[in-house]
Each structure stands twice: as C-alpha cells, then as structure tokens.
Amino acid sequence: MHSIFSRLNNGSSLLSSCLMGLLLAVTLSTFVFTAEPQGNLTIGSIRVLEGRNPRRYNQKQEVGVVRFNVTADLTPLFHWNTKQIFLYLQAEYNTTEGVQNDVVIWDRIVRRKEDASINVVAKDKYHLRDVSRTFRGVPHAQYALKYNIMPYVGVLTYGEVARTSEAVVFPKLGEL
C-alpha cells in the first residue's frame, strides 16, 4: 500500500491540484483590473487607387490606402497576468447595399510595458478593399482603435481605446 509508486502518485496529484487552484486564482484576479486606456485617433488621408483582386488575379479592384495618426497609452492594461496586447485599427462602414463591414487595416503586438506608450504616424498594413471591388457604394467610414489583452492564463478580454469622432468621407478613385 505504501509503495514508492503510490507515494509518487499521491504527491503528483496533490501538486497538480495545487497548481490548478493557483491558476484559477490568477485567472479570477484578472477581473479586478478594469483600466480604461486613453488614446487618440485621427485619419490623415485616404487615397483610392486601382489594384488587383487577390481572389481573382485578372480582375481589377479599388484599393483604399489610409494614413493615420495614433497616440495611445496602454500602460494601465499591463498587470501581472498580461502576456501581450494585440492593438488593432479597423475601418467600419456600411455600403449602400446594406453590407456591414469591419476591416482591420493596421495592428501591432505590444509585449512590454516599456513599449505600451504608442505614438504612430503610419500608412495601413492591410489595404482597404470592398467586396463590390469599388468604393462607389461606400459614402463614409468610421475608424476605431481596439485592443485584445492576452493573458498568461485565463480569459481573453477586449476593449476600445479611441474612435474617430466623425465619419470620414471616401474619396473617388484617384482623388485625395
């Protein structure tokens, strides 16, 4: 009954239940942190150019190139269970045909508190495209800066840092 095997078995099962309890406690502790990060988002310019449809390579498709300015302070989001923050900027628009679109145009992975003060003036990483292959049916778009906190263990949480206060009008092909 008191063989080395049973001792090992009991010891490891106690250890693993302690570990699970600890992980559960860490998971629950994350719900205490409810910081609201501050940030600002402005859209510099939008250009609509002619490009190719990545799904049908011989087809032409309009491509929206967005320049933007993002400042955000994500430091309050870093607590002891923050592994990294996925920050993303998305365009939100409805076409005249009633299709609702959310399209991420830029993202960044923030892994350290020292890098959490964001100040970016940049062009999009992923160009805007519409399913109809043209932006003629898209009068304007809203832009929002959002984040996803990815923990060491536990629940993934989402939130919004900033949003354009007014809808940004889409230019015609070739115009600024």
Partner 1 sequence: MFSDELKAFRRLGFRHVLLQVLNFASVIASGLMLWKGMSLVTNSESPIVVVLSGSMEPAFYRGDLLFLTNPVSELYKTGDITVYKIPGADIPIVHRVLETRNFPIKDWDPSTSSSPHPVEQKMLTKGDNNHVDDLALYEGLDWLERKHIVGKVRGFMPYIGYHLTILLQNDFPQLKYALLGGLALLALLQRE
Binding site for partner 1 (CB under 8 A): 23, 27, 54-55, 83-84, 86, 88, 90, 98-104, 107, 109, 111, 126, 131, 146, 148, 150-156, 158
How far apart are CB 123 and partner 1 at their closest, in Å?
A: 16
Min CB(69)–partner 1 separation in Å: 21
> In the bound complex, what is the minimum distance in angstroms from residue 117's beta carbon to partner 1?
20
For residue 162, give both structure tokens. Answer: 């900033």
Nearer to partner 1, 48 or 110 (CB): 110
Q: What per-residue string of b and e applies to 70-100 under the rule 16 or more CB within 10 Å gives b?
A: bbbebeebbeebbeebebbbbbebebeeeee
Backbone angles phi, psi at 44, to 5 degrees: -75, -60
Taking the complex as a whole, the smallest distance from the CB of residue 7 to partner 1 amounts, in Å, to 15
- The Cα-based distances of 70 to 100, 107, 123, 171 in angstroms read 24, 11, 11, 21
Q: Tell me whether residue 100 or residue 165 sits nearer to partner 1 (CB atom).
A: 100
Task: Identify which of residues 40 and 101 has a Cβ nearer to partner 1 in the complex.
Answer: 101
Q: Give the SS3 label for residue 156.
A: coil
